[in-house]
Amino acid sequence: MADSLYVADTHTLVWHLAVDAQLGKSASRILNDPASRILIPSIVLAEALYILERKPHLYSISETELLREIAQDNRMKIAVLDQETVAKTLDCKAISEMHDRQIVATALLAEEAGFDVAILTKDDNITQSGLAACVW
């Protein structure tokens, strides 16, 4: 039996850490489960910080607090954007947005490494691609 691993997309991460009601119930349950393992693609971290910088009035968490929360949560790991991940985006051409391709590529590489993977997202671009399991 493979270990379960969840890949967080940008809004999932922000909404979880800001305790925002927009977060899907299943995604919230997973993110609040102390046994869950969460993988955060580096592009997600960069996008989350950019959102908080540009629209600080929309969320109850700052960029610094987001970074601190991730660092303190031993269930969360940052997946680097490396050559292997960029190359894997070539398998994700069904997705129009490069950032979303990187998220899915991260999930696909984790699957290839033997994990049972689902992406925590409501993004239609990702869910409708059919390239990876999604939970919301």
pTM above 0.75, yes or no: yes
Could you say which residues of the chain have pLDDT below 70? 1-2
- 68-107: pLDDT as tens digits: 999 999 999 999 999 999 999 999 999 999 999 999 999 9
The side-by-side arrangement of strands in the sheet containing 134-135 is: 76-79, 38-41, 4-8, 116-120, 134-135
For residue 50, what are the domain limits?
4-135
**pLDDT at residue 2, rounded to an integer:** 67
Place of tokens 């299943």: 26
Q: What is the CATH number of the domain that holds 50?
A: 3.40.50.1010
Say how many domains are in the chain.
Answer: 1
